[in-house]
Structure 1
Amino acid sequence: MEEQVVLVSENDEVLGLMDKMQAHKNGILHRAFSVFLFNQKGEMLLQKRAANKYHSPNQWTNAVCSHPRHNETYLEGAQRRMKEELGIEAVLSPKFHFLYKAEVGQNLWEHELDHVFTGDFNGEVHMNPDEVSEVRYITMEALEKEMIAKPEHFTEWFKIILKEYKEHL
């Protein structure tokens, strides 16, 4: 069964459910969350999306980005996906939310009401190879330089979310 996303208005009023692929083909606004995790040195955890992902394969992005399920809070979804993708748990704090729309290739769009969470993590990652091919920590300074030098190595939504994140510091 195709995974569904929760369609919402700009005020986060639920409008219904739709197959995830259909929502991405049509660029329809839906709920999402993004997780930024940092180690004790203040470095950000990045994941490289698996090669078999239907969009943005083999690109670096923040620790976790996904969609809450119907009747699941943003936080519950973020905690679920940390376990499913990285095999980890961390205490998360809500930071902000915002709307964005980005083309992600193959005529697909992310049009999301995105809730951003942060947390600390210093343990071992147990990657799900269907979701993630690599992880690494990076300083914000090194990340900014790499994103300028090789923007094609990063997901479109991560570029947008990181800019928003820096504005909310």
Structure 2
Amino acid sequence: MENVILVNEHDEEIGIMEKMQAHEKGLLHRAFSIFIFNAEGQMLLQQRAKKKYHSPNLWTNACCSHPRPGETTLQAAKRRLQEELGFETELQEVFEFTYNAPFDNGLTEHEFDHVYTGTYDGVIKPNINEVLDYCYKSMEDIQQSLDSHPHKYTIWFAIAFPRILDWWKLKYAA
């Protein structure tokens, strides 16, 4: 059984709850999303595994999950990046956002999401229980695909992408 950290709208901890129960009740909890880029500025995307409890087969950012009680979001981000994609890299928090998205299966993602970025050009060893496929894509290709096929992407990715694109333009396109 895995627990998540319940938070208020200021990301202040207000309790602990079993992960599925928090998603069934749609309670606000702490989460993180990691966006990884290669040296050319292309973004690493992953296609979620078919057996994920929501958003299976959809494309999304490199990694996302929830910190465990007693774990910082950065510690959790580094742990999950290793667990899902089999590598480590330096991560930097670039912004936060909150979203509330119900799914067809009765679950709701209501998250206070800490967004991290990093750079990586090495070997990727995906966990087949988490990742169906992965690739690096240019920001332009991702934007075009999001515009023409939004149903192929996770809801949180679609929400975060415009802000990541703004950040990317300052870092890579300058």
Structure 2 portions without partners, runs of 5+: none
The aligned residue for residue 36 of structure 2 is 37
Per the TM alignment, residue 32 of structure 1 is displaced from its structure 2 partner at its CA by 0.3
Do the aligned residues in 2 keep the contact of 1:34 with 1:64 (CA within 8 Å)? Answer: yes
The aligned residue for residue 4 of structure 1 is 3
Per the TM alignment, residue 16 of structure 1 is displaced from its structure 2 partner at its CA by 0.9
Per the TM alignment, residue 3 of structure 1 is displaced from its structure 2 partner at its CA by 1.1
Do the aligned residues in 2 keep the contact of 1:103 with 1:156 (CA within 8 Å)? Answer: no
Per the TM alignment, residue 167 of structure 1 is displaced from its structure 2 partner at its CA by 4.7
Distance 1:65 1:45 in 2: 13
Distance 2:155 2:106 in 1: 13
The aligned residue for residue 129 of structure 2 is 130
1:11-39 Cα distance to aligned partner (Å, 9 max, x none): 12111111111111111000000100000
State the one-letter code of the partner of 1:101. N
Per the TM alignment, residue 103 of structure 1 is displaced from its structure 2 partner at its CA by 2.2
Do the aligned residues in 1 keep the contact of 2:139 with 2:165 (CA within 8 Å)? Answer: no
Do the aligned residues in 2 keep the contact of 1:56 with 1:105 (CA within 8 Å)? Answer: no
Does 2:22 align with 1:23? yes
Equivalenced residue count is 168
Query: In terms of mean alpha carbon deviation, does 91-100 or 73-82 score higher?
Result: 91-100
| Partner SS, residue 105 of structure 1 | coil
Q: What pairs up with 1:1-169 in 2 under 5 angstroms?
A: 2-168=1-167
RMSD value, Cα: 1.2
| Partner SS, residue 159 of structure 1 | helix
TM-score, normalization by structure 1 = 0.95
| Partner SS, residue 94 of structure 1 | strand
Structure 1 portions without partners, runs of 5+: none
* Identity of matched residues, %: 50
Distance 1:108 1:8 in 2: 18
Distance 2:115 2:85 in 1: 17
Moved beyond 2 Å, runs of 4+: 163-169
Do the aligned residues in 2 keep the contact of 1:46 with 1:60 (CA within 8 Å)? Answer: yes
| Partner SS, residue 83 of structure 1 | helix
State the one-letter code of the partner of 1:44. M
State the one-letter code of the partner of 1:64. C
